């Protein structure tokens, strides 16, 4: 059974953010992840992690104005300075919170910008981020996201991510492979993970359709978890799903998957 981290942005949402750490620990999780820490003081988050015996395995670089619908700015040619300032802010939080990897969201492709400029901007921003993170002893992740949920998202396929990382040329840069997004965009989950395993630094899950917990949709999670064990994936899997009812009511999927 892979190691599971509760995604506090999606789970335990009936509680205030800082109270979700305790709920995750009570539910048996040993680690958590979330989108962004920046609305809170790092000391307050660290206290919740320590009080509940939790590791933090992932958060994102700043990603523009999330509330206004932005989903990253790393491919935006006119916002390079903003992106690079965010890298420094993210590293400061990562060092305070003890997280070892940060995810970079590429963002939606701006209208009227040529593909070659989008790619070159993203590549150069990733080089900058990877160098800064390496100096701090951190890994950089990039995440393909499906264009049904986020139309226009620039990075949307695993092969595209692998090609971009090859161009970046950083040994501390990896793919964050989200099973839900990959199922929607390309399928072939088992073969794709195996092919790109050396470049996969983190995995996230949800079922499809609905983005709910495993067992509510079409993805064969008992097979997939056994496959991940078989091919030697030893990282964390973030549970980035929307509970079909409540988080607590849906947590039985962990036992059902482990029993298969």
Find the distance separating the first CA and the last CA of the chain, reported in whole Å. 10
Phi, psi angle pair for 178, to nearest 5°: -95, 115
DSSP 138: -
**Is 213 an annotated catalytic residue?**
no
Specify burial of residue 180 (Cβ count, 10 A radius: 0-12, 13-18, 19+): buried
- Any catalytic annotation for residue 240? yes
Which candidate in 67, 116, 218, 240 is catalytic?
240
Assess contact for 25 and 54: CB atoms under 8 A: yes
Beta bridge partners of 177: 203
Backbone angles phi, psi at 144, to 5 degrees: -70, 135
Residues 6+ apart with CB under 8 A from 51: 21, 22
Using alpha carbons, select from 255, 173, 238, 250 the residue that is nearest to residue 210.
250
Q: For the CA atoms of 164, 85, 20, 176, what is the dihedral angle to 10 degrees?
A: 10
In contact, 202 and 141? CB cutoff 8 Å: yes
- Count of helices and strands (H, E) across the chain: 10, 8
Catalytic-role residue among 143, 188, 218, 248? 143
Q: Give backbone dihedrals phi and psi of 244, rounded to 5 degrees, phi first.
A: -65, -35
Catalytic residue numbers read 143, 240
């Amino acid at each position: 059974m892979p190691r599971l981290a509760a995604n506090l942005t999606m789970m335990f949402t009936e509680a205030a953010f800082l109270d979700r750490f305790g709920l995750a620990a009570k539910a048996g999780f040993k680690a958590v992840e979330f989108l962004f820490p920046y609305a809170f003081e790092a000391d307050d988050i660290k206290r919740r992690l320590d009080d509940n015996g939790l590791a933090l395995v992932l958060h994102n670089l700043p990603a523009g104005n999330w509330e206004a619908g932005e989903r990253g700015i790393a491919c935006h040619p006119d916002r390079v300075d903003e992106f690079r300032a965010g890298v420094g802010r993210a590293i400061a939080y990562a060092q305070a919170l003890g997280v070892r990897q940060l995810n970079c969201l590429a963002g939606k492709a701006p209208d009227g910008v040529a593909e070659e400029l989008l790619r070159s901007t993203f590549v150069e921003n990733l080089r900058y981020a990877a160098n800064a993170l390496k100096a701090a002893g951190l890994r950089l992740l990039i995440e393909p996201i499906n264009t049904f949920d986020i139309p226009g998202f620039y990075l949307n396929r695993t092969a595209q991510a692998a090609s971009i990382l090859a161009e970046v040329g950083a040994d501390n840069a990896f793919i964050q492979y989200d099973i839900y997004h990959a199922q929607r965009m390309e399928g072939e989950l088992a073969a794709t993970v195996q092919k790109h395993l050396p470049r996969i630094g983190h995995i996230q899950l949800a079922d499809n359709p609905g983005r709910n917990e495993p067992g509510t949709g079409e993805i064969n999670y008992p097979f997939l978890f056994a496959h991940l064990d078989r091919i030697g994936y030893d990282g964390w899997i973030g549970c980035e799903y929307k509970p079909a009812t409540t988080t607590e009511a849906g947590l039985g999927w962990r036992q059902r998957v482990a029993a298969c």
